[in-house]
Chain A
Amino acid sequence: MAEYVLQMKNITKTFGPVVANKDVNLYVEKGEIHALLGENGAGKSTLMNCLYGMFDSYEGDVYFDGELVNIVDSRHAIALGIGMVHQHFMLIPVLSVIENVVLGLKENKEVLDLKAAAKEFTELGKKYNMEIDPWLKVEQLSVGQQQRLEILKALYRKAKLLILDEPTAVLTPGEIDSLFDMMRQLTDEGHTVIFISHKLNEIMKICDRCTVLRLGEVAATVDIAEVKDRQQLASLMVGREVELETTTKPVELRDKRLEVENLCVDNDRGLPAVKNMTFDLYGGEILGICGVDGNGQSEMVQCITGLREATSGKIVINGTDTAGLNPGQILGLKVSHIPEDRHKYGMVGPMTLDENLILVSYKQEKYSSRGFLRWKWIAEQSESIIKSFGVKTPGIKELAKNLSGGNQQKLVVGRELERTPDLLIAVHPSRGLDIGATKYIQQQIVEQRDMGTAVLMVSTELDELIELSDRILVVYDGEIMGIVERKNASREVLGPLMAGVRD
C-alpha cells in the first residue's frame, strides 16, 4: 500500500451555475511526479486553487500527510509544506533575489537579516545544482532563472509538495532538460511534485503517474509505465480519438509577399533588438521564426506591422514599401496579425464578442455606412464567424474576457482569417492553449498556406515549428543564425542555433 502525501476526496467546486470540479479524487503518492493533465477549462487550476486555499468554500475533504486539513489561505498551505510555482511568476522585478525569497516570511524580524538568509539560500541552490546570485535584481535574471528562483523559494519555505503549473512553457530545450533533472533529484530526496501540463511528450518522459481531468471530472488516473503512447493520453484527455499529426501538402509557391531588407530595430530601452535581418516570404509557404523568447522576434513583428519604427532597413509588403505607414494602413495591405499577447493587443476584454470581431475592419463598408455601425449585419457576421471557428460562448453579447483562453484565441484567429489575408503574421498562435484548440488553430494556419497565403509564424514551441513550417528561420540576439529547410529541420539542428552556436 502506497503512502499518500496528498489525498483530495470528492472535491466539488461550483461557480454559480458552473461546475468547475465534480467529485474529483486526486491521490498523490509520496516521492512521485504526478501529472495533472487536462484541456483548458478542465478544472486543473480550480483543483489546485482549492488545495492552495484560494477559495472560501468547496465540498470535499483534503488530507495532507495523512491528516484532514482545512486550508484557509495560501499562507496556511505554505506552512503545511505545499509550494506552488505559478505559470506567471509571483516575483517583484525591482527587488533582489534574496529579498524576493524572504518576502512575506513569518520569521522576518523588524530588521531583515538578509546575509544569513542569502547564505542559507546559496547552500540550497548548490545542493540542487542551480545556483543564483542572491544579490542580483530579479529583472536581471532570465526567464529560466526566474523559474528556478521560484522553485528554490518554495524549497526555502520547506515545501514537501511542489506544484509546477505549466513550467516548461517558457524554457528552451536545454533548460527543460535541467528542470527535469532537478525534478528527479527532488523526488529522490522524498519531495513530491505535481506537474500540471498538457504537453504529452513531457508527461510521458518525466512523470510516474497521471491524473487526467475532463470537463471537471477525473477521466482516469494511470501509471505512465502502462501507457502505450501519447495518443492514448490525448484520447483520455479529450474523450475521443484525436489526430496528433498534421498532414501537409507540398509547397506551391506564389509571388513574393514580404521582403525584409537589412532591418534594424531598437527595443523599448533604445538598444538594438533586431540586427540587420534580411529575408523573403512567398505566398503558399509557412516561414517559422524560431528562437527563445526575447531575441528580437517581438520587435521584428511590431516593426513589420507598423507598431514600432525601424532604425534602418526596408520592409516591402505586397510590393508596397511600408516606411511611414501606420498600423491601420499596413493591415489594409491585406495583412492579418495574430498578436503575441491576445489580452494586450488582440482583443478588448470588457467588450462583447461582436464588438471584438469588428476591431480591425469596423470602417469597412461591410460593417458601417456613413460613420454608423451596422449592428444588425455585424451580429449576423459575428454569429457565422463564431460558428465556423467553433468559439464556445453563450452568445455574441458575452464579454470577451469571460471566454476561456482557447476560445479567446479562436476569436482572434477567426477575426484575422475571415479577412482572407495575403500575408498572415501569427505570433505564438497556440500559446497557452490546450491540445484541441492548438490542433484546430494549427490546422487553420496550414489551410491558409494551402490557399496561397504567406504565413510568418513566430513560436517558441519547437515541435510546432518543425511540424508546420516549410522553412525555419532561427534568430539569436536579434540576428539570423540560419534558415533551415523543412527536410533538415530537427531538434538537433535547431537547438544549437537557438543557443547562438553556428557550426
Chain B
Amino acid sequence: MNSKAVQYSKSIGFPVLSILVALILGAIFITAIGYDAAFAYRSLFNGAFGNIHSFSETLVQTTPLIFTAVSYSIAYKCGLINLGAEGQLHMGAIFGAFVGARFEVLPGGLHILFVLACGFIGGALWGLIAGALKMRFGASELITTIMLNYIAFEFLSFAVTTEPFRDMTPGAAPRMTAVVEAVRLPILLPQTRLHLGLFFALIAVVVYYIFMWKTTKGYEMRVVGLNPNAGRYSGMNIGTNGLLAISLAGGVAGLGGVVNVIGLQPFLTEGFSNNFGFSGIAVALLGGCHPIGILVSGVFFGALNAGGIRMQLMAQVPAAAILIIQGMIIVFAVSRELFIYFGRTGKLLLPKKQAGGESDA
C-alpha cells in the first residue's frame, strides 16, 4: 500500500472507529434500561434508509447540518471556534422569514436568492458581533458565540409573539408570518419533504472547498489559522481575516436557518431547529472539516435524527438514547489523543522485543 492510501485510511479509520464504539456502548445502554437493542437498531436503520421516504427524511435532516458544519469549519480553518451556529441559524431564519413574508417585487428565482441573501446577512451579523468583540476587546469567541445563542433564542420568542414579526392571523399559534408562496423551495421528490435546500447545501460545500483551497483569501485564512505568527511575518492581517471568517461562518449557518424555513414549514416557530447548530459542530469534527467528510458525516447524523424518531415509535426506546449515542460519538471523535495514549501505554505492557516494530514517528 502506498503512503497516501495509508494516510487516507488513517484519517477515515478513526471516525469510523468512534462511531462503532459509540454504537456498541449505545446498545449496551439500551439493553441495560430494558429494551431490545437489536430491534431498536433495526428500526433506526429502517427509519433512516428503509425506503425512499425514510431516506429523503434523512436528507431533509442532513441539509441544515451541512450548512452548520460548513459554518464551524470556516471559522475553524481560520483558528476560531464558532459555537454560535445555533444562534446564527436562528438569526438567519428570522431575517429570511421576515423578508420572505413581505416583499413580492422580484421575479421568482431572484426573489429566493434575495431571501437567502437576507438569511446570510442575518447570520453574518451575528457572527460579526462575536468577531468584533474578540478583535477589539480580546473576548474569547468560545464564550461570546455561546452567549449570543441565547440572545438569538430570546429574540425569536419575542418575534413570534410581537408585531410586526408575529403572524396576526386570528387563532394562529405564536409564530412569524408565513413566507409568500413565491419563495418556497420546490420539492425534489413528490410525496416527500425533500426540498431544493439539499442542492444549496451541496453548493455551500463546493464553495467552501473552492474558497478555502483555491483562493488567496482562503489561503490567507488557513495560514492565519495554522500559524498566526507566520501570517503576521508575511504581512497578513490577523484581525480582518478573523472578522471575515467568523462573519462568513455566521452567514452560512444563517443560510441553513432560512433554507429550513422556505423549504419546510412556511412560517417560523420557536423550536424549529432540531439542535442543528450544535449537531453541526459534531458533523464538522467527525468529518475533519473536510468537504467530503462533512457530506458523509452530515448524512450519518441526519440518519440518526430521522431514524431516531422511528426507533422511538417502533422499539419504544426514548429518543434521548439517540442523543446519548450522538454525544458519545462526539466524545470519541474528539478524544483522539486519548486513544493514542491508550495505544502507547498498552504497547508498553508487552515485553519489549515482541512489541510491534511500527511507530508513529
Whether chains A and B associate is yes
CB-nearest residue of chain B to A375: B214
| Contact residue among A347, A358, A372, A373 (Cβ-Cβ distance under 8 Å from B230) | A347
- Pairwise interchain contact B348-A373, C-beta atoms closer than 8 A: no
- Pairwise interchain contact A331-B352, C-beta atoms closer than 8 A: no
Instruction: Kindly supply a per-residue 1/0 record for chain A positions 472-496, scoring 1 wherever the CB is within 8 Å of any chain B CB and 0 otherwise.
Output: 0000000000000000000000000
User: A14 CA to B227 CA in the complex, in Å?
Assistant: 31
- Pairwise interchain contact A57-B356, C-beta atoms closer than 8 A: yes
How far does the Cβ of A75 sit from chain B's closest Cβ, in whole Å?
12
- Pairwise interchain contact A55-B359, C-beta atoms closer than 8 A: yes
| Contact residue among B347, B348, B356, B359 (Cβ-Cβ distance under 8 Å from A15) | B359
Instruction: Kindly supply a per-residue 1/0 record for chain A positions 339-370, scoring 1 wherever the CB is within 8 Å of any chain B CB and 0 otherwise.
Output: 10000111111110001001110110000100
Any A CB within 8 A of the CB of B357 = yes
- Pairwise interchain contact B233-A327, C-beta atoms closer than 8 A: yes
- Pairwise interchain contact B359-A16, C-beta atoms closer than 8 A: yes
How far does the Cβ of B352 sit from chain A's closest Cβ, in whole Å?
6
User: A57 CA to B215 CA in the complex, in Å?
Assistant: 45
How far does the Cβ of B289 sit from chain A's closest Cβ, in whole Å?
13
Q: Which residues of B sit under 8 angstroms from A350, Cβ to Cβ?
A: 226
Q: Which residues of B sit under 8 angstroms from A306, Cβ to Cβ?
A: 235
- Pairwise interchain contact B352-A57, C-beta atoms closer than 8 A: yes
- Pairwise interchain contact A57-B216, C-beta atoms closer than 8 A: no
**Interface positions of B from 336 to 353, Cβ below 8 Å from A:** 344, 347-348, 352-353
Q: Which residues of B sit under 8 angstroms from A262, Cβ to Cβ?
A: none
Any B CB within 8 A of the CB of A312 = no
- By size class, the interface of chain B is 20 to 34
Q: Which residues of A sit under 8 angstroms from B14, Cβ to Cβ?
A: none
| Contact residue among B215, B356, B358 (Cβ-Cβ distance under 8 Å from A372) | B215
How far does the Cβ of A339 sit from chain B's closest Cβ, in whole Å?
6
**Interface positions of B from 222 to 250, Cβ below 8 Å from A:** 222-223, 226-227, 229-230, 232-237
Any A CB within 8 A of the CB of B114 = no
Any A CB within 8 A of the CB of B32 = no
Q: Which residues of B sit under 8 angstroms from A360, Cβ to Cβ?
A: 234-235
Asked, given contacts A72-B348, A331-B235, A371-B216, whether A349 binds B227 with beta carbons under 8 Å apart, the answer is: yes
How far does the Cβ of A135 sit from chain B's closest Cβ, in whole Å?
35
User: A16 CA to B7 CA in the complex, in Å?
Assistant: 13
User: A350 CA to B216 CA in the complex, in Å?
Assistant: 18
Q: Which residues of A sit under 8 angstroms from B278, Cβ to Cβ?
A: none
User: A375 CA to B222 CA in the complex, in Å?
Assistant: 16
How far does the Cβ of B207 sit from chain A's closest Cβ, in whole Å?
13
CB-nearest residue of chain B to A358: B219
User: A348 CA to B217 CA in the complex, in Å?
Assistant: 16
Any A CB within 8 A of the CB of B355 = yes
How far does the Cβ of A318 sit from chain B's closest Cβ, in whole Å?
17
CB-nearest residue of chain B to A343: B227
Q: Which residues of B sit under 8 angstroms from A375, Cβ to Cβ?
A: 214
**Interface positions of A from 42 to 74, Cβ below 8 Å from B:** 55-57, 70, 72-73
- Pairwise interchain contact B235-A326, C-beta atoms closer than 8 A: yes
Any A CB within 8 A of the CB of B33 = no
**Interface positions of B from 199 to 223, Cβ below 8 Å from A:** 214-217, 219-220, 222-223
User: A164 CA to B270 CA in the complex, in Å?
Assistant: 66
User: A228 CA to B182 CA in the complex, in Å?
Assistant: 91
Q: Which residues of A sit under 8 angstroms from B348, Cβ to Cβ?
A: 56, 72-73
- Pairwise interchain contact B235-A362, C-beta atoms closer than 8 A: no
User: A56 CA to B340 CA in the complex, in Å?
Assistant: 14
How far does the Cβ of A62 sit from chain B's closest Cβ, in whole Å?
11
How far does the Cβ of A409 sit from chain B's closest Cβ, in whole Å?
15
Q: Which residues of B sit under 8 angstroms from A349, Cβ to Cβ?
A: 226-227
Any A CB within 8 A of the CB of B361 = yes
- Pairwise interchain contact A56-B219, C-beta atoms closer than 8 A: no
Q: Which residues of A sit under 8 angstroms from B217, Cβ to Cβ?
A: 371
Asked, given contacts A56-B352, A70-B352, A373-B214, whether A362 binds B219 with beta carbons under 8 Å apart, the answer is: yes
- Pairwise interchain contact B235-A56, C-beta atoms closer than 8 A: no
Q: Which residues of A sit under 8 angstroms from B355, Cβ to Cβ?
A: 56-57
Q: Which residues of A sit under 8 angstroms from B356, Cβ to Cβ?
A: 57
CB-nearest residue of chain A to B224: A348
User: A46 CA to B86 CA in the complex, in Å?
Assistant: 49
- Pairwise interchain contact B359-A328, C-beta atoms closer than 8 A: no
User: A245 CA to B348 CA in the complex, in Å?
Assistant: 48
Asked, given contacts A331-B235, A373-B214, whether A348 binds B359 with beta carbons under 8 Å apart, the answer is: no
Q: Which residues of A sit under 8 angstroms from B344, Cβ to Cβ?
A: 56
- Pairwise interchain contact A355-B219, C-beta atoms closer than 8 A: yes
Instruction: Kindly supply a per-residue 1/0 record for chain A positions 203-245, scoring 1 wherever the CB is within 8 Å of any chain B CB and 0 otherwise.
Output: 0000000000000000000000000000000000000000000
Asked, given contacts A55-B359, A57-B352, A351-B222, whether A328 binds B214 with beta carbons under 8 Å apart, the answer is: no
**Interface positions of A from 372 to 426, Cβ below 8 Å from B:** 372-373, 375
User: A339 CA to B230 CA in the complex, in Å?
Assistant: 10
User: A339 CA to B232 CA in the complex, in Å?
Assistant: 12
- Pairwise interchain contact A373-B361, C-beta atoms closer than 8 A: no
User: A326 CA to B353 CA in the complex, in Å?
Assistant: 57
- Pairwise interchain contact A368-B234, C-beta atoms closer than 8 A: no
Asked, given contacts A56-B348, A328-B234, whether A363 binds B223 with beta carbons under 8 Å apart, the answer is: no
Q: Which residues of B sit under 8 angstroms from A248, Cβ to Cβ?
A: none
CB-nearest residue of chain B to A46: B361
- Pairwise interchain contact A57-B235, C-beta atoms closer than 8 A: no
Q: Which residues of A sit under 8 angstroms from B220, Cβ to Cβ?
A: 362
How far does the Cβ of A71 sit from chain B's closest Cβ, in whole Å?
9
- Pairwise interchain contact A56-B347, C-beta atoms closer than 8 A: yes
- Pairwise interchain contact B216-A368, C-beta atoms closer than 8 A: yes
Asked, given contacts A307-B233, A345-B229, A346-B230, whether A363 binds B216 with beta carbons under 8 Å apart, the answer is: yes
Any B CB within 8 A of the CB of A337 = yes
- Pairwise interchain contact B226-A348, C-beta atoms closer than 8 A: yes
CB-nearest residue of chain A to B351: A70
Q: Which residues of B sit under 8 angstroms from A347, Cβ to Cβ?
A: 227, 230
Q: Which residues of B sit under 8 angstroms from A372, Cβ to Cβ?
A: 214-216
Any B CB within 8 A of the CB of A178 = no
- Pairwise interchain contact B361-A15, C-beta atoms closer than 8 A: yes
User: A344 CA to B226 CA in the complex, in Å?
Assistant: 11
User: A344 CA to B230 CA in the complex, in Å?
Assistant: 7
Instruction: Kindly supply a per-residue 1/0 record for chain A positions 249-261, scoring 1 wherever the CB is within 8 Å of any chain B CB and 0 otherwise.
Output: 0000000000000
- Pairwise interchain contact A337-B216, C-beta atoms closer than 8 A: no
Asked, given contacts A15-B359, A55-B359, A362-B219, whether A339 binds B233 with beta carbons under 8 Å apart, the answer is: yes
CB-nearest residue of chain A to B353: A57
Most central of A57, A326, A327 by chain B CB within 10 Å: A57
Q: Which residues of A sit under 8 angstroms from B219, Cβ to Cβ?
A: 355, 358, 362, 373
- Pairwise interchain contact A359-B223, C-beta atoms closer than 8 A: yes
- Pairwise interchain contact A348-B216, C-beta atoms closer than 8 A: no
User: A293 CA to B359 CA in the complex, in Å?
Assistant: 37
Any B CB within 8 A of the CB of A329 = yes
Listed A/B pairs (12) with beta-carbon separation below 8 Å = A14-B359, A57-B352, A57-B355, A72-B352, A73-B348, A306-B235, A327-B235, A331-B235, A346-B233, A347-B230, A349-B227, A373-B219
A residues with CB within 8 A of B: 14-16, 55-57, 70, 72-73, 305-307, 326-332, 337, 339, 344-351, 355, 358-360, 362-363, 368, 371-373, 375
Query: Contacts A16-B359, A326-B237 given; 15 further ones with Cβ under 8 A?
Result: A56-B359, A57-B359, A306-B235, A307-B232, A307-B233, A326-B235, A327-B234, A328-B236, A332-B235, A347-B230, A349-B227, A355-B219, A359-B234, A363-B216, A372-B215
For the complex of A and B, 3 pairs with smallest distance between CB atoms: A328-B235, A345-B233, A15-B361
